[in-house]
Amino acid sequence: MTVFFSSSAEETTELARRFGERLKRGDTVLLLGDLGAGKTLFAKGVALGMGVSEEVTSPTYAYMNEYEGKTCPLYHYDCYRIESAAQAEGLGLADYFDAGGVCLVEWPDRIAELLPARCIRVSIEKTGENTREIRIG
């Protein structure tokens, strides 16, 4: 596990951009952290690193947003409103894990039974107004 310390939204975005450049087809990234920790900001940085040109927004009400990256699609999930893995499966969310893109999953604990065996965990902890501790591994 690698630990990073960020003192601004810009630093978090840049870290996520560099991380996103290394992701490849089939990767699933679990974004962990409390409300307001910066999971969606991190997702925006990942999208930049993957070459996504459109604005990345939180998929809270859509459950999942799809973006076209330079080498593969990015599937950005927000499972905060998902009540069970069965609900997520009924919505077809599990299908995207094998769709040849990169999956970013906010609130992954809500769909734990559906997640692939191999996932990359990114934990974001708010340590101050603008500071974050980010653990990747």
Rg (CA), the chain: 14
pTM of the model: 0.94
Query: What is the C-alpha separation between 38 and 85, in angstroms, rounded?
Result: 24
Query: What is the C-alpha separation between 35 and 10, in angstroms, rounded?
Result: 19
Query: What is the C-alpha separation between 73 and 47, in angstroms, rounded?
Result: 10
pLDDT single digits (tens) 31-85: 999 999 999 999 999 999 999 999 999 888 889 999 999 999 999 999 999 999 9
Handedness of CA 35, 36, 38, 44 (dihedral sign): positive
**pLDDT at position 105:** 97
| 92 pLDDT more than 90 | yes
DSSP output for 66-86: EEE-SSSEEEEEE-TT---HH
**pLDDT at position 58:** 87
Query: What is the C-alpha separation between 51 and 67, in angstroms, rounded?
Result: 10
Phi, psi of 132 (to 5 degrees): -140, 145
CATH code at 2-136: 3.40.50.300
**pLDDT at position 132:** 97
Return the domain boundaries, the chain.
2-136
Query: What is the C-alpha separation between 57 and 52, in angstroms, rounded?
Result: 12
**pLDDT at position 60:** 81
**pLDDT at position 59:** 86
The separation between the first and the last C-alpha atoms of the chain, rounded to the nearest angstrom, is 4
**pLDDT at position 30:** 98
pLDDT single digits (tens) 101-126: 999 999 999 999 999 999 999 999 99
